[in-house]
Amino acid sequence: MSIHITYFGMLAEIAGQADESWIADENLTVGKFRSLLLEKYPRMGEKKFKIAVNQQISEDFVPIEMSSEVAVLPPFAGG
C-alpha cells in the first residue's frame, strides 16, 4: 500500500524534502513507521517529533491505513 509523508521544519531539512510517498506493509502502525523513519534518516533520532496520521497526533499503537496522510512534526512554536 502507499502512504504519503510530509515533513516540517528541521525534519524537512534532515529528509532533504518536504514530502514523499512510501510503499509500506498492510499492517503498518505509527510505531513501525517511526522505526522505518529512523532507519532511513538516523539524524531524526536526535530530534523530538510527533507523528500525525490524517491530521491527528497518534501514539505508536495506531494503525496507518492505505492512502493515509502521515506528517512528521517538530516541536511547535506558535504564538
Partner 1 sequence: MCMEKGHKPKKVFVQGPISPEFVSKSIASHQSKTNIGAHAIFLGQIRADQKAGGIVTGIEYSAYEEMAEKTFHEIRETAFEKFELTCLHIYHSLGVVPTGEISLFVFVSSPHRRAAFEASEFIVEEIKANVPIFGKELIGESGEYNWKENK
Q: Which residues bind partner 1 (CB under 8 A)?
A: 6, 8-10, 48, 52, 55, 71, 73-79
* Least distance (Å) between residue 35 CB and partner 1: 22
* Least distance (Å) between residue 11 CB and partner 1: 9
Q: How far apart are CA 23 and CA 3, in angstroms?
A: 7
* Least distance (Å) between residue 7 CB and partner 1: 10
Residue 36 exposed, middle or buried by CB count within 10 Å (0-12, 13-18, 19+): middle
Q: Pick the closer one to partner 1 by CB: 23 or 76.
A: 76
Angle at CA of residue 7, ends 51 and 74, nearest 5°: 60
